[in-house]
Amino acid sequence: MRKTTTNVASQLQNFGVHVSPRTVARLLRKMKFSLRVNQKKLGAKHPDRNRQFLRIARLRRLFARRGEPIISVDAKKRELVGNFKNPGPKWDREPTLVNDHDFRTLASGVAILYGVYDVSANRGAMSVGVSHETSAFACASIRRWWEQEGSRRYPRAQRLLILADTGGGNAAARGAWRDQLQQQLCDQFGLTVTVAHYPTGASKYNPIERRVFSQISRNWTGEPLKSYETILKFIRTTTTSTGLKVTARLDRKHYPVGIKPSAARLRQLNLTPATFAPRWNYTIRPLSVK
């Protein structure tokens, strides 16, 4: 029923029933009615969903026990750079005035945010791109994290576990993602990379979502993201009571879309699919290692 209690009370009067809107509300509650919103609960779930979660948990325990790095990666919602409304309240003496429309033409650019979260160290690293979310951009972000933080934090590591969603620049079915991992991580640093993707529709369980992205959004609540410097400042000042710290770097390189590796190139990858759900689970080794 989409009628208000006032409308219901008015219609009841046509039948000789004289009640107030407050009484209508009380009677509705007594009959177990309440104001409700739609819930996204319907839809088929992949039959391997639970088994994939169990596999991810086993991999995390294995890598943690060995002291090997585990990272959670994903892209955050793109942001318009300019004097645009950023949802949420903040304490201030006066409201901040922003543009009355979020037109792309009013923006000085877009911020493509890709993050790497070191699960064991509770450290985040964000790349702020200016062009597109591509596999090359995603892997460049991971490569920079390894160069600047990961290799120093785990100097003896030869293996890396990546937890990722099934879509975007790190999509499970995207050949460019696997090719870029081969080039930018495995071959360049001699790393053996194991990837486990969260099932479709389960991105909220990816650690970076709740442990980094939600904290960044909370830090800049109500603040217009007027410049790239503003975005970097809010990311770098994001902390939590559990000790989270986040670094940020602006990546002005242009990453063109639509670039796909050839079928011949994909056959050259030193990739070993897992027996279970090979589309979601695979390991890539340096090409010099067979």
Average pLDDT on 256-267 reads 96
User: What is the pLDDT at residue 54?
Assistant: 98
Task: For each of the domains in the chain, give its residue range(s) and CATH number, in order of start.
Answer: 1-36 (no CATH), 49-284 (3.30.420)
Whether the predicted pLDDT of 45 surpasses 90: no
99-145 confidence digits (pLDDT tens): 999 999 999 999 999 999 999 999 999 999 999 999 999 999 999 99
Buried b (16+ CB within 10 A) or exposed e, 105-114: eebeebbbbb
pLDDT in tens, 46-97: 888 999 999 999 999 999 999 999 999 999 999 999 999 999 998 899 999 9
pLDDT band at 25 (very low <50, low <70, confident <90, very high): confident
Q: Is the pLDDT of residue 214 over 80?
A: yes
Q: What is the pLDDT of residue 96?
A: 94
Q: Exposed, middle or buried, 21 (CB in 10 Å: 0-12/13-18/19+)?
A: middle
pLDDT band at 41 (very low <50, low <70, confident <90, very high): low
Provide the pLDDT confidence category of residue 33 given band limits of 50, 70 and 90.
confident
130-184 per-position pLDDT tens digit = 999 999 999 999 999 999 999 999 999 999 999 999 999 999 999 999 999 999 9
Per-residue pLDDT, averaged over 232-237, amounts to: 98
Q: Which two tokens stand for residue 232?
A: 């970097």
pLDDT score of 42 more than 60: no
What pLDDT is stored for residue 83 in this prediction? 97
Q: What is the DSSP letter of 151?
A: H
Find out whether 188 and 157 touch, Cβ atoms under 8 Å.
no
Query: pTM of the predicted model, to two decimals?
Result: 0.86
User: Hey, is 58 helix, strand or coil?
Assistant: helix
> What mean pLDDT value characterizes the chain?
94
- Please write the tens of the pLDDT for every residue from 178-201: 999 999 999 999 999 999 999 998
- DSSP per residue over 152-194, as a string? HHSTT--EEEEEE-SSGGG-TT-HHHHHHHIIIIIIHH--EEE
Mean per-residue pLDDT, 227-251: 98
Cα 56–59–65 angle (5° rounding)?
140
